[in-house]
Structure 1
Amino acid sequence: MDFFAYKNNKLYCEDVDLQDIAMECGTPCYVYSKKTLERHVEVYKNAFKTKNNLICFSVKSLSNISILELINKNGCGFDVVSGGELKRALYIGADPKKIIFSGVGKSYDEILLGIQEGILSFNVESEAEVYRIEEIASLRNKIVDVAIRFNPEVDSGGHEYIKTGRKGDKFGISSDDSVLKIANYIYESKNLNLVGLACHIGSQIMDLESYRLTAKNIKELSIKIKEIGNKLDFLDLGGGLGIPYENDKTPSPQDLISIIEAELMDAEERIVLEPGRSISGNAGVLLTKVEYIKDNFLIADAAMNDLLRPALYKAKHDVWSLTESKAIDQVWTIVGPVCESADVIAKDHPINADVGDILAIKTAGAYGFVMSSNYNSRVRPAEILVDGQTFNIVRSRESFDDLIKNEINLND
């Protein structure tokens, strides 16, 4: 559910006409709904029957500090995958004890920052990472909490690029024997404390059976780990729940959590989830203006540098006109101005549109702005947050000065 809807034939975000935002802020621009974000967080929180849980929002899906502050105020922790994301979470006042640091390539400085801030856990993904964290902790006379990320051998997720829980994927540790070996090493370490077991099987997952198998696997492996050491604090099942991009039916957070809680009914550990897309995805749209019509092409001012998903994953996004039509009698391929044939927003899409019209690319809140770039020396778009009848710019549109501010002209 989201709060983008037609009222009197005009497309609104909550109680704001999107045309007004386009006219005042220009296009392309991202528009987020505060009410939608809050609603999705509340759905996750209310879905748990047990209070022994933690929801860590995936910062990589949408990292604007105003959005993170909103999610923090609504009681979530954060899943981060870089030092920059960790600094964003800390900047908005997140509780370090509700921050989990994932990712396969944590640098020395990133680990040091996490240790200094006292985060909940590093989700370790290799033996080498365990040794590095131990070394840094030892040098600073610290005991650091870690969780082991393992691959449950569940093949799930949308595009091949977002499947992450199989043997051979770069993420996690692939065999139970390797996990147990690392667990034993951590238990014997003076500077490491094993607090959890973690996994993440992919993204845009529609099949709840994949989650049931994952919960079953993590429970069985946790029992083996506890046989060689102390009890664990949490079991982290990651995120990845799919959302509808083209009116497709998707499982709800309630469905997901019901499956997980049923499988982990006897587990002592608290349950950690890392939702991203299912909170932020349909909370945002990308507004774009039609610049030209050429044959069957609508040439818009938004491009693959603004929204990479269609080019990278062949992802499909619904596109709406800001004016509701009773009958649609046109089919267009909507493209951007970037000099790549892959710069296609939507192919053979039914929509009534003309030059100068504003279009809304739906379900663009997750992996939208965060994956944007300055390719073709294009400035990145503004971000706007709607709250009821008001809206605020939460990131200004870049300027040419922004493009070159870190460059050095050797002739000056």
Structure 2
Amino acid sequence: MQVTNQVYQIQGVDVLDIAGQFGLPLYVYDADKIIEKVNELRSSFTGVNLKIKYAAKALTNISILRLMRQQGTELDVVSVNEARMGLLAGFEPQQILFTPSGVAFAEIEEAIELGLQLNVDSLPLLEFIGRQYGRAVPVSIRINPHIAEGGNIKIQTGHADSKFGISILQRPEIKAVTETYGIPVVGLHIHTGSDFKNADAFLRGAEVLFELAADYPDLRFMDFGSGFKVAYKEGDHVTDLADLGSKVSRAFQAFCERYGRELELWFEPGKLLVSECGSLLVQTNVVKENPSRTFVHINSGLNHLIRPMMYDAWHDIVNVSNPTGDEKNYTVVGYICETDTFATDRNLPEVRPGDILAFKNAGAYGYMMASNYNSRPRPAEVLVYEGQPYLIRRRETFDDLIRNQVDVPVLNAVTV
């Protein structure tokens, strides 16, 4: 994405033209940006057998999954339905890592029937696998390393009080269960959270897995999760992928030499690959001047982009319609009947009723965390691929909102 001669373009296509063709609000994704990020991550690691497992939860549209498969990535999923999406997109079952978080054992059985690689996140689940399948199901084990790193506390997943993974302090219990049932352990997994700025957190987690590997002589891979920091505004510190790749590659090569053979090194990027590709385009409904501030009310809300309200996340805002207007200070708010603030005291080129704004970094956890709150439909999604915009999800309608509601005739009677 770029701003060229004050025109906001995606692969040379004016987003005003895209908005006119597909309507607003609208998610627009840049395929070139996704491809660029995949290649950047891949080229950062040398001398290791790297596998990129795209974290589908970030953006699960089947067209995005097909683009990922086209670029040679594999898949990380957290639900069986995400896995089914991946299968529809053309991934093979063995290319899909299933990392549940306390799901029903019935869903585990579905995942095993589909042939997915199971990543075990609790001792009760490990016991279940042993009792039900014995030696028949090879597993990976997700370890909680008790490392508190990352950005917002809501996205830290490796600290001692996190619900995720099996505590490293339970190492003896893990080994006892696997030995009792003869469960084949083929992988070790760690994911300590998001928004890491440097390699240190990955290396600390890696050392935990390197030591644990002594318990399991038949490993095929180690999975270091993800958590790469991306830029949300100018001047943001981001993960130095080249530095991280160099340091982790060296550490992993040294481990493999000690272990006695080469293992695969896995990462599960989601936000890194799709955050910057996405823009949420919206239209200004009302500009309301109060004594204390000026509000820009738009035709969207936390039902379409919840990250500012949930994580206090910053998203750059571009006034696509009036990029050269005089700068003024605004608070940008949504149309939801709730405190629904996208940005407070943000300086923008003058915003007028009808102006189209673009929220950047809306590719990850935009549509996927969207809802029908206030009975409002979700927007359409468009992918710009090789200079051509393609509709990849239709806009919801009122019929979609009531489609699964069931009429109870007895309630149609009027009573006084």
TM range (shorter): over 0.9
Q: Are the counterparts in 2 of residues 125 and 172 from structure 1 also a CA contact under 8 Å?
A: yes
Please give the secondary structure, in 1, of the residue aligned with 2:285: strand
Distance in 1, matches of 2:119 and 2:190, equals 9
The answer on whether the counterparts of 2:197 and 2:240 sit within 8 Å (CA) in structure 1 is no
Structure 1 position 282 matched with structure 2 position 270: no
Partner Cα separation in structure 1 for residue 303 and residue 192 of structure 2 = 27
Gaps of 5+ in 1: none
Aligned counterparts of 1:89 and 1:51: Cα–Cα separation in 2: 26
Aligned to 1:124, which of 117, 120, 124? 120
Q: Retained in 2: the 8 A contact 1:292–1:355?
A: yes
2:287 to 264, 282, 293: 293
Indicate conservation of the 8 Å contact 2:319/2:357, yes or no: yes
Shift of 1:256: 2.3
Residue matched to 1:222: 213
Q: Percent identity?
A: 34
Q: Match of 2:18, as an amino acid?
A: I
* Cα deviation code 1:33-79 (max 9, x no counterpart): 01111111111222221341211000111100000011011111111
Instruction: Measure the CA separation in 1 of the matches of 2:83 and 2:213.
Output: 27
Provide the rounded CA distance (Å) in 2 between the counterparts of 1:134 and 1:93.
Answer: 30
Give the TM-score taking structure 2 as reference length: 0.92
Q: Which residue of 1 aligns with 2:196?
A: 205
Deviates more, 1:128-137 or 1:231-240: 128-137
Cα distance in 2 between the residues matched to 1:289 and 1:52: 46
Deviations 1:172-209 (A, max 9, x none): 11234x1332133213424x310011110001222432
Segments of 5+ residues of structure 2 without an aligned counterpart are 257-262
Determine if the alignment matches structure 1 residue 145 to structure 2 residue 138.
Answer: yes
Equivalent pair of 2:322/2:355 in contact (CA under 8 Å): no
Query: Residue in 2 aligned with 1:38?
Result: 35
Q: Which residue of 1 aligns with 2:265?
A: 271
TM-score of the superposed pair, with normalisation by structure 1: 0.93
Counterparts of 2:132 and 2:56 in 1: how far apart (Å)?
25
Does structure 1 residue 80 correspond to structure 2 residue 103? no
* Cα separation, 2, equivalents of 1:300 and 1:107: 40
> Shift of the alpha carbon at 1:350?
1.1
Matching residue of 2:226: 239
Tell me the SS of whatever aligns to 2:39. Answer: helix
Post-superposition CA distance 1:312-335 (Å, at most 9, x none)? 111111101115745752111111
- Distance in 2, matches of 1:337 and 1:60, equals 26
Q: Alpha carbon RMSD of aligned pairs, Å?
A: 1.6
Q: 1:108 aligns with which of 94, 105, 116?
A: 105
Note the alpha carbon deviations across 1:80-110, whole angstroms, 9 max, x for none: 1111111111111112222111122232332
- Structure 2 distance, partners of 1:215, 1:324, is 49
CA distance in 1, matches of 2:26, 2:343: 17
Q: 1:258 to 1:184 in 2, by over 3 A?
A: farther
Point out 4+ residue stretches in structure 1 off by more than 3 angstroms: 323-328
Contact 1:15 1:388 in 2 (8 A): no
